[in-house]
Amino acid sequence: MALVPELVTAEAEPEADAEALTALADWCVRFSPAVAVDAPDGLFLDVTGVDHLWRGEAQMLADFRSRLITNGLPFRCAIADTPGSAWALAHFGKDGTIAPSGEHEPLLASLPPAALRLDRETWAQIERLGLRQVSQLVAIPRAPFGRRFGRAALTRLDQALGHEAEALTFRRPPTPWFARLAFAEPISAPEDMSRVTVDVATKLCARLETEGQGARRFEVCFHRVDGKALQLSVGLSLPGRDPVRIAKLLVPKLDTLDPGFGIEVVTLRAEAVEPISGRQARLDKAREATVEEGLAPLVDRLTNRLGQERVWRAVPVESHVPELAVGRSRPLGKPSIPQTWNREIPRPTRLFRRPEPVDSVIALTPDDPPTQFRWRGQVHRVHRAEGPERIGEDWWKGQIEDADVGHIRDYYRLEDTKGGRFWLFRAGLYGDPATPPKWWLHGLFG
Amino acid sequence: MSDFRIRGLATLKAKIAAIEAGGRSEPKFLPFGDERIDGCLPGGGLPLGRWHEIGGTGIEVETAAAPTAFTALLAAPLTQQGEVVWVLRRDDLSAPGLLGLGFAPERLIQVCARDEAEALSVMEDALATVGVAAVVGETEVIDLTAGRRLQLACEKQGATGFLIHRRPYGGQARRETTGSAAATRWRIASAPSEPRAGEFGLGAPRFVAELERCRGGRTGAWLFEATDAYCWEKTDVAHPLRLVADLGDRQLAPAQPLRLAG
């Protein structure tokens, strides 16, 4: 510090760096859907099969560079056959190198051994032995090399040279179902945004249709001029590929996006792609409507508007505990479950999520139904009663120590003098003066 | 009235019905299977492809248990024709309870709306959908415009709407709107059940149903029993609700409906 007083220092912020790197990875989706983060400071883009969108790798890299420079980010980049050699070239080669396909080995040869992504100790050892270039390492027979520097070093060498495949953890699994539209001029008007949504959906759906596929999830991503990526997603209850329908689900959500200074690229990804049978459009209008025409769009509209958890179909769950006996499934899942609830055991039409306490209960011990109770300040005189129906907890599912006699519930179906039908239960048993049983109202029959 | 005038009146009624239907298909009805009530309803049954208001009394305005059970019984025959969408504000509807009343829960789609306006718009959306036979919604009040919109949605595919008036817990009573586009308006209260001779406990659920408004029909009040509730065997009746007694036109005696039932 004393030597270089003008040196600017800043505290290291690893979390902020990681966050920024993730944001940059999201931004890179405009170039390729498969982006892997190489912590702490690198990114891998799998550009296989996307460079033709820029008419070649050189143009693509040029575009990439100019955009990063505009954003003021210092960087080095390279394109090569394997992630390992691309890493080596980007870190130690000439910035912006594009290794022609199959010819990365000569380019790697002159690089220092550190380019192989070795850990510090191995690298230091190699340097100590006077090996200064990758070519010297390649020349060493494999067996002694592995014995001397460890299996990891050998793997790294193979990965760089392409003898061994390397699995990258992409931020999103690469999907071939991807469509992209770039604009000559940035757009920002809401009507333009909804129009390009339809356009990009049409583009992707045409591909889906030719290959007989449909998707359950669509993710649209608007890339702003300033490098932010705005995402929206919609889900379908049945796999589909109707661009108008998909756009209709997306368009109402566009209001939530802020286009800022404009949007220059829009991408659409289809997820959960599965084959769907082509269906002939109906010739005969009088025939019965199919699920695809009526219910599925309705369920999609509702789930995308209200959220998945607000639209459901009740399905039986094997449990005696009333609040656990009902599960929720997707509305258009597999219908017709073989088992169902027992119709002969009366259950209330309104089941409170939390039982409500009742007081002033007059009941003969130990097992007689109440003759009177008070709920919400109103006294109900019981006219007719049924019960008890004893329901214990599912003790076999939890810890055996947690099972307690206080969790036993004795349910009574009661009818008061006015005809109101109630489902009361007594939690616990009589006998222990320390924990007297409590009475609760769990539901109403109506 | 002379024969000629009666016939003239019938033609006129048919014409008005045709205009109201707006050139759409024949209106359908769901008969209760008892002349005492079917005679009061236009067309001899509960009009389908319309919407109906169902309210409760006392605490039931908030819990809506009896109106729910009654609606499920009314809509139970419709589950054979298509899906039923139930738009809730509180998700305390219990599917096993509906099954006990003979309402098939495998045809039921439940939707929990965030506010009243959303509940109404979801209802409207669902009513206009192919493959939906009935839509049940729970809101506190409905104004004329919203009611008219529901009616238009009903007419699109012939689905039937049921609107249960339900006030949020602890909410202040709001003024009820006087006019309504609904075909019928019911007020439902539970009535003490009558177990069969030699049986203990509770009998089949009974309801006092007061028909407060009925377009093109007469009002009345009846005592119903859901005879088939909570058993697998079905008795040989068309409708799950059996009429026990006619309580007369607007002479409801809620204090002692049992005596009338006897």
Q: What is the mean pLDDT of chain B?
A: 84
**pLDDT tens track for B203-255:** 889 999 999 988 888 888 999 998 888 876 666 666 888 888 888 754 444 44
In words, the CATH class of domain A178-275 is: alpha beta
Return the DSSP state at A28: G
Per-residue pLDDT tens listing for chain A (446 residues): 677 878 888 888 888 888 888 888 888 888 888 888 887 888 898 888 888 888 888 888 898 888 888 888 888 889 988 888 898 888 888 888 888 888 888 888 888 888 888 888 888 888 888 888 888 888 888 888 888 888 888 888 888 888 888 877 777 666 678 888 888 888 888 888 888 888 988 888 888 888 888 888 888 888 888 878 888 888 887 788 888 888 888 888 888 888 888 888 888 888 888 887 655 444 544 445 565 667 888 888 888 888 888 999 888 888 888 888 888 888 876 655 566 788 888 899 999 988 999 988 888 877 888 999 999 888 999 999 987 898 888 878 777 777 777 788 899 999 999 889 999 998 888 777 777 888 999 999 98
Domain range enclosing B131:
27-261
Return the pLDDT at B191: 92
- Provide the pairing of β-strand A35-38 with B46-47: unpaired
CB proximity under 8 Å: B 181-240 to A: 189-193, 195, 200-203, 205-206, 208, 229-232
Q: CB B108 to CB A314 under 8 A?
A: yes
CB A230 within 8 Å of CB A257: yes
- Provide the pairing of β-strand A409-416 with A421-427: antiparallel
To 10 degrees, what angle do helices A142-149 and A120-128 make? 120
Which of A102-106, B24-28, B43-47, B51-55 ranks highest by mean pLDDT?
B51-55
Residues in CB range of B225: below 8 A, 6 or more apart: B193, B194, B203, B204, B205, B206, B207, B241, B242, B244
> Which of A293, A298, A378 is nearest residue B125 as measured by Cβ atoms?
A298
B13 within some domain? no
- What gap in Å lies between CA B228 and CA B232, rounded to an integer? 8
> Which of A345, A350, A385 is nearest residue B63 as measured by Cβ atoms?
A350
Q: Which residues of A touch B67 (CB under 8 A)?
A: 446
Nearest CA to CA, how far is A212 from chain B (Å)?
Answer: 25
- Asked if the C-beta of A312 comes within 8 angstroms of chain B's C-beta atoms, the answer is yes
CATH classification of the domain holding B139: 3.40.50.300
State the pTM of this model. Answer: 0.67
As for how many domains chain B has, the answer is 1
B1 within some domain? no
Domain ranges of chain A: 24-161, 178-275, 350-444
Rounded to whole angstroms, the maximal C-alpha distance in chain A is: 100
Query: Long-range contacts: B31-37, Cβ < 8 Å, 24+?
Result: B31/B238, B31/B239, B32/B239, B32/B241, B32/B243, B33/B237, B33/B238, B33/B239, B34/B242, B34/B243, B36/B222, B36/B243, B36/B246, B37/B220, B37/B222, B37/B243, B37/B246
Q: Give ipTM to 2 decimals.
A: 0.83
Collapse the DSSP code of B186 into the 3-class scheme (helix H, G, I; strand E, B; otherwise coil) and give the result: strand
